[in-house]
Amino acid sequence: MHPDESATPETTETGPDPFGGRARLCFSIYAAHHALNRVYQPLLEALGLTYPQYLAMAALWTRDGLSVGEIGRALGLESSTLTPLLKRLEAAGLIRRERAKTDERVVTVVLTGEGRALGEKAAHVPECVLAATRLDRAEMERLSAALNELRAALDGREEAGRAGADRPPRRRTRRRAP
């Protein structure tokens, strides 16, 4: 038995912890992600949006006229992922993509009248999600800040890993003689 394992399984608020505490954070985030999707799904279905589309629209409802690059940075999406999503929103008549007059390499995204109207219909979504969490606004802000810090730390580790630094040591195994 590994030194940090116990003979009896750990328990959580919902029962035995099948991971013995080792994968609890990862599983908690995974399970919360799925639970949030179940809250968002009917709200967004009524608006005719997928969750990634909602995120892009929410960025534009906050500040219309963002470039594709600005939306991508705000959402953590590559332009190769974002472009098809924006094309679908444009085909639905919610946005318009325009080349910037000052630099034709830059594509600016603007809301149409229909896109702005959808923003008014979607105004209730954040409050519905907050109510479903049973957290108050301050708790939600703290949780969000903690998750953003976690993401930044993991993204930093990923960047360092690409450069060859901060990699965990490889586990070496001994080969047995035949």
Mean pLDDT within 135-155: 93
**Predicted confidence (pLDDT) per residue in 30-57, tens digit:** 999 999 999 999 999 999 999 999 999 9
State the pLDDT at residue 156: 84
- Alpha carbon 125 to chain centroid, angstroms: 16
In three-state secondary structure terms, 11 is strand
In three-state secondary structure terms, 67 is strand
State the pLDDT at residue 7: 43
CB under 8 Å to 64, separation ≥6 — which residues? 110, 111, 116
Q: What is the DSSP string of 18-62?
A: TTTTSSHHHHHHHHHHHHHHHHHHHHHHHHT--HHHHHHHHHHHH
- Alpha carbon 39 to chain centroid, angstroms: 15
Rounded to an integer, what distance in angstroms lies between the CA atom of residue 70 and that of residue 60? 10
Mean pLDDT of the chain: 84
- The burial of 163, by beta-carbon neighbours within 10 Å (0-12 exposed, 13-18 middle, 19 or more buried), is given as exposed
23 vs 54, residue with greater confidence:
54
Q: State the fold for domain 22-147.
A: Arc Repressor Mutant, subunit A (1.10.10)
Instruction: Return the percentage of the chain with pLDDT > 90, whole number.
Output: 63
Closest CA to 57 of 43, 67, 46, 71: 71
**Predicted confidence (pLDDT) per residue in 89-102, tens digit:** 999 999 999 998 88
State the pLDDT at residue 5: 46
